[in-house]
């Protein structure tokens, strides 16, 4: 069988089964069909927003073998949120550096225009915001058609019920526990009520949709997030700002989740 090549005849690129262009020399993506959802476990997703932007490859390397199950990559456009961060070239570079799944969180306007570009760059999962998608079900379906896991996020001011009718199309539902745009903020306690609401609805619908929280997650708040119903915890400052390094940061959150006694 001939080796597949790019449309220009080179052997540097190929089209995967979902029609997404990828490179032969990068770490392979994890297709949606082979990435099992959380069931009876809690996953930690370190956010590169809190890493040293000048050493992102090293940050990714530090997470391998740390107990982190994926890497959370926040994409910001300075419009949907008041900050700028990463783009497709960052995703492409990270894909070469790590085999950990890349969970791309698009905090941008009109994300539908860019889904294919991020999938081609190496995203394994793509999360979009309810507030940015007038046809959210269609957007989530398009993400799955790219063989990426589809996620839907809501901001602190958005009611949980806005996701109820699309949970079946979601591999992940994300509750922002801070106002998005900047790391290092304190978790807004009231947002955990929405986590509780969505956990009940996910179970009511008999789904395996993961429930993720993002913002202010650390060793002091992780247990409360899990007890509210979250099974994926995004943590940035608590991981990359830990005095012992990223691995120690992941371990501290894991220890907080499994500790006995009441949550803080």
**DSSP one-letter code for 8:** T
C-alpha 172/C-alpha 245 separation (Å) is: 28
Helix, strand, or coil (residue 14): strand
Helix, strand, or coil (residue 149): strand
Q: 77, 171, 214, 218: which one is catalytic? A: 214
166: CB partners within 8 A, 6+ apart = 136, 137, 140, 152
Instruction: Kindly report the number of other CB atoms within 10 A of residue 120's CB atom.
Output: 21
Asked if 11 is an active-site residue, the reply is no
Q: 62, 74, 77, 147: which one is catalytic? A: 74
Asked if 112 is an active-site residue, the reply is no
C-alpha 187/C-alpha 191 separation (Å) is: 8
C-alpha distance from residue 206 to each of 132, 195, 202, 226, 244 (Å):
27, 16, 6, 19, 40
C-alpha 93/C-alpha 252 separation (Å) is: 28
C-alpha 98/C-alpha 100 separation (Å) is: 5
Residues catalogued as catalytic = 74, 214
């Amino acid at each position: 069988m001939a080796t597949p090549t790019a449309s220009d005849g080179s052997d540097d690129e190929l089209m995967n089964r979902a029609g997404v262009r990828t490179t032969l020399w990068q770490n392979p993506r994890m297709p949606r069909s082979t990435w099992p959802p959380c069931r009876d476990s809690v996953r930690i997703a370190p956010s590169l927003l809190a890493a040293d932007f000048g050493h992102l490859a090293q940050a990714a390397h530090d997470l391998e073998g740390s107990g982190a199950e994926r890497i959370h990559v926040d994409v910001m456009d300075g419009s949907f949120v008041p900050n700028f961060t990463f783009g497709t070239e960052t995703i492409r570079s990270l894909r070469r550096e790590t085999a950990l799944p890349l969970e791309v969180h698009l905090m941008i306007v009109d994300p539908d225009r860019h889904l294919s570009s991020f999938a081609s760059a190496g995203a394994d999962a793509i999360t979009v915001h309810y507030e940015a998608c007038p046809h959210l079900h269609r957007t989530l379906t398009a993400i799955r058609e790219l063989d990426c896991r589809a996620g839907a996020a809501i901001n602190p001011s958005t009611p949980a019920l806005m996701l109820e009718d699309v949970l079946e199309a979601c591999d992940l539902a994300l509750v922002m526990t801070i106002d998005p745009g900047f790391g290092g903020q304190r978790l807004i306690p009231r947002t955990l009520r929405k986590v509780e609401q969505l956990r009940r609805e996910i179970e009511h619908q008999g789904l395996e949709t993961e429930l993720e929280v993002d913002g202010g997650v650390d060793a002091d708040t992780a247990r409360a997030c899990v007890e509210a119903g979250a099974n994926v915890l995004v943590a940035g400052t608590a991981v990359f700002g830990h005095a012992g390094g990223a691995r120690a940061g992941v371990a501290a959150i894991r220890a907080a989740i499994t500790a006995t006694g009441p949550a803080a």
